[in-house]
Amino acid sequence: YRMHSDIMKVLSESLYESKLVAHVSVAAHTLSDLEHVESNAFTCVSLVHIETASCGMTESSKELGGASGMGSAVDGSESKANMGEARLALAHVKILIAAGVGAKDIAIITPYNAQVHLLKRLMQERYSELKIGSVDGFQGCEKEAVILSMVRSSPNKDVGFLKDYCRVNVAITHAKRHLCIVANSSTVSQGNSFLWALFMHLKAKAFVCSPTAVHHR
């Protein structure tokens, strides 16, 4: 597989009985190995988890005028957004671009169309080459760096259709060198065994940081 081994293992250990193997030519590559990219705490690692638990970044419901809130699946006209996560995604994009990563090599993926709209409003005038979209809109597209905004964050720990692990699985497969997951683990990890295993893997292998660490760089 054409992704860093630590990213690949997120899927391999949870879904494929550890049978997936990263190709030796890409198993250890990071953003800092790209030409003109500086080494820093983020470009030297393949996995980042920006932990939003207990940070007050709760989800909100948005009406999309009858459009599906989750890509091709049916969810009425209501979708979910999370302004706190959107701002963190923007902050992480700025860190990567400041280090020399091209905007064309970065994608932000989120399961919810309301979050897609919010992210585009915040970013695309500044970074026209940055790709932002839903999980369904990224079929067959790989990027050096992927930022995944999970959105769901609520006291009742409802994750909605994130329980469909295939959506998260597909999003992760688009990352080649760097995967940054912006998420409230105390909410999202309760969705199913795959999501629980995902956050256990992040805890063991990722650079886990607070929103403050990202905003203050």
Q: What is the pLDDT of residues 36-69, one digit of tens each?
A: 999 999 999 999 999 999 999 999 998 765 444 4
pLDDT in tens, 15-27: 555 555 555 555 5
Per the prediction, the chain carries an average pLDDT of 85
Per-residue pLDDT for 71 more than 50? no
Per-residue pLDDT for 163 more than 50? yes
d(CA 85, CA 57): 7
d(CA 152, CA 88): 14
Query: For tokens 């295939």, what's the residue?
Result: 166
Domains: count for the chain: 1
pLDDT of amino acid 63: 73
| Share of residues in the chain with pLDDT > 90 (%) | 61
Cβ 89 vs Cβ 138: under 8 Å: no
Q: How far is CA 8 from the centre of its chain?
A: 14
Looking at residue 83, which CATH number applies to its domain? 3.40.50.300
Task: Report the pLDDT averaged over residues 105-126.
Answer: 93
Which residues span the domain enclosing 82? 5-215
